[in-house]
Amino acid sequence: MNITPIPGGVCAARGFTANGIRCGIKQSSKKRDLALIVSEKRCAAAAVYTANLVRSAPIKVTKAHLADGHAQAVICNSGNANTCNANGVEIAEGMSRLVEQYTGIAASDVIVGSTGVIGQPMSLEPMEKGMPELVAGLGDHSDFAEDAIMTTDTVPKQAAVEFEISGVKCRLGGIAKGSGMIHPNMATMLVWVTSDVDITPEMLQKAVSEDVKTSFNMVSVDGDTSTNDTFAVLANGMAGNPVIDRAGEDFDAFRAALHAVTVKLCRMIAKDGEGATKLLTCLLTGASDEETAKTVAKSVICSSLTKAAMFGADANWGRVLCAIGYSGAQVDVDRVDVSFRSKAGQVDVCRNGAGIPFSEEEAKKVLLEDEIDILVELNSGTASAEAWGCDLTYDYVKINGDYRT
């Protein structure tokens, strides 16, 4: 299947424009803090949300708006999570009405997102003042929208691809924010994806719900699950492909394109974990079944001791074995092999659950790189899984020790 990376983020697909401005929600910052994404046509829409029982008001409003499987715009602010606020739903609904007032798109067709500090008072006033500028500047500005949803992120996260469905060229692209409070089920702060594919809401929801199991649910930075996590996809049908209303080759092509974008965003989120210096990928093979593979891979990537060892470029494979052992999966630890790999090479450190001789000097070279693969072979079957995380550094505590101040 030919899936080609292209520029453009959420503006890569036909009929989508975006913008991001500074309206003053982040009062002590000159950074952008309000984003808007708009489609020319009403879209099929689908989303999945955080598993945290404490949920933001925007999630409650968005779930209600997506009950009919359609949307046409996304409005999102950073600097305030709009979570645990008495007037939270009122604010989120107010954001939707502002979009309706300035674009003509029905408030009920607006997805709402917020990210930032939990429990802080929030007002519509900054957004009311900023809306004329935000709407007037709508265009090919995926980068502005991305910038406006970032909090502790240090790098932008956007991706887009071009692919074919029944001989018709289609596009799909997305932006994401996420650096801290990243943990499986869901495992991102906010992800907005757009596409010009013609697909029914039911099939779109199926694609999104399945994709997250092997993308955002396989990312962990710090073991904390956010209150605001939302992964939403809008598809406006402007590519002109035959409508996807059932499983088959066209649906598979769409799912593959979606996964190409979400995996790239996953890697960006993990590599940009708060204070992180390295992207860690656990490549788990030889499991007895898929659930075992996913459980073990996530356990390795979530291990604080493994993360700390990777920060120190210490080939302490015992910490990997330890994480496998407490994962809860039924694994024969006497059959486990472990290796570390990077662009500097590969070092095998464990065979059949026991250490083997290796060069500490060569291992150090491998682990000093900024992207490291932790290769785990269970030798018990054919199932595999991939999970992403980052190292644990001094800066993580520093960032979160004074997050509000």
Task: Tell me which of 50, 152, 188, 230 is the catalytic residue.
Answer: 188
- Kindly state the DSSP code that residue 118 receives in the 8-state scheme: T
DSSP structure string for 2-45: --EE-S-GGGSSTTEEEEEE--SSSTT--S--EEEEEEEEEEEE
* Alpha carbon separation from 329 to 175, 298, 324 (Å, rounded): 34, 11, 8
Is the Cα torsion angle 9, 13, 19, 20 positive or negative in sign?
negative
Q: Is 322 exposed, middle or buried (0-12, 13-18, 19+ CB in 10 A)?
A: middle
Cα distance between residue 220 and residue 222, in whole Å:
6
The verdict on whether 188 is a catalytic residue reads yes
Q: Provide φ and ψ at 139, rounded to 5°.
A: 180, -150
User: For residue 217, which of 280, 263, 284 has the smallest C-alpha distance?
Assistant: 263
Residue 401 CB-half CA count within 13 A: 6
Helix residue spans in 173-238 (DSSP H): 201-211
Helix residue spans in 124-221 (DSSP H): 125-136, 142-148, 201-211
Place of tokens 């500490």: 360
Catalytic amino acids? Answer: 188
